[in-house]
Amino acid sequence: MKNNTWKKIFVAAGVMLTPVIFCTLIVAAAIMAIVSGTAAGSQSVYSQAGTLSDSVLSYQSAAAEYCSQFGIPGYAPLVLAVMQQESGGSGNDPMQCSECFLNDRYPKKPESIADPAYSIRIGTEYLASCIKAAKCKSPSDVSGISLALQGYNFGGGYIRWALERGGYSHTNAAEFSRIMAKKEGWKNYGDTDYVPHVLRYYIQPSNGSFAVPLRTGTYRISRGYGYDSSNGEFHKGIDYAAPAGTNIYASAAGTVSYAQFGRAPYGGYGNVVVIQHSGNIMTLYGHCSKLLVKAGQKVQQGEVIAKVGNTGHSTGNHCHFELRINNTAVNPDTYLSKNGAK
């Protein structure tokens, strides 16, 4: 446990109590950077984020699966940011959920959870409830996310309280903390800087900053992102079915990081192009018949990069398109503009 913890559980008011070791690395400026970044033009929508540990990154597919399961697809990068803040990804309780009221499998005492997958499930379920209570509109809704995060740290009572006061602010978080500390007779209550603490690890492109990689009218979506109920598999991207040879366009400007027949970690994708964008975001275009770019090449949004095909693990001509943040495949729908490539 680094900077905050769920020490005690719900009191009658449904408030989660959270004594804290205050962290001196307070980065309130991080919020301002992200907020101003979002308001800026489409080329500068990305926040500069702290680094996620390899251990946190190893939980990306678990985070994506539980986000889908708990109705918050697209929020996996936020779960990973919370995990980085909570534990850096170490131990068997990477979300530090042992004392969460949702834990009914292990004793409600620190570090009791002995199964990382269970910890991520509980943490994601709790975060999902905060995101919904905060009426968060999308993974780009910084004010909604901020309210949800502070509620995650303080307990759900904060979200209701803050919504009556216009939502999250650093000032009202501090006020809530003082009120609760007084009420409980504690020295501290929660981490009043939990929002900047987590957001420094959160990367969020803005809505509409990426383009559908095929031209409108040339494709039909044959499979979407998420669980496929027919086979129980998790589909990490969107499949655009189109005739062989149909043009595939770069979804956003960036640098080609991979363009060849896919081998590990891109095995199965056949001929695949991966483009690295700013802010640790990448897009991937799989199963191509032909590749028109090379690794190291800079591309602009809308530039033709490959042709639709049926290479690799594929059962028909289509482009498998992924959008990854910090190497976690997220729901591209969240970030795609309405229009196909121009």
Determine which residue in the list 129, 239, 274, 332 makes contact with Zn ion, applying CB under 5 A.
239
User: Which lies closer to Zn ion via its Cβ, residue 121 or residue 320?
Assistant: 320
Cα of 141 vs its chain's centroid, Å: 12
Instruction: Report the nearest approach of Zn ion to the CB of residue 45 (Å).
Output: 26
Size of the site for Zn ion (CB under 5 A): 2
Instruction: Report the nearest approach of Zn ion to the CB of residue 277 (Å).
Output: 20
Q: Is the dihedral of CA 148, 143, 56, 238 positive or negative?
A: positive
User: Which lies closer to Zn ion via its Cβ, residue 190 or residue 213?
Assistant: 213
Stretch that binds Zn ion, among 86-94, 140-148, 171-179, 231-239 (CB under 5 A): 231-239
Q: What residues numbered 294-323 form the site for Zn ion, per CB under 5 A? A: 320
Compute the distance between CA of residue 223 and CA of residue 219 in angstroms, rounded to an integer. 12
Instruction: Report the nearest approach of Zn ion to the CB of residue 215 (Å).
Output: 19
Beta bridge partners of 277: 281
Stretch that binds Zn ion, among 56-64, 170-178, 237-245, 296-304 (CB under 5 A): 237-245
- The dihedral over CA atoms of 189, 193, 197, 198, expressed in degrees to the nearest 10, equals 70
Instruction: Report the nearest approach of Zn ion to the CB of residue 318 (Å).
Output: 7
Compute the distance between CA of residue 27 and CA of residue 103 in angstroms, rounded to an integer. 31
287 binds Zn ion (CB under 5 A): no
Instruction: Report the nearest approach of Zn ion to the CB of residue 259 (Å).
Output: 18
Which residue has tokens 């700013």?
Answer: 278
Compute the distance between CA of residue 333 and CA of residue 183 in angstroms, rounded to an integer. 44
Other Cβ atoms closer than 10 A to 32: 11
Binding site for Zn ion (CB under 5 A): 239, 320
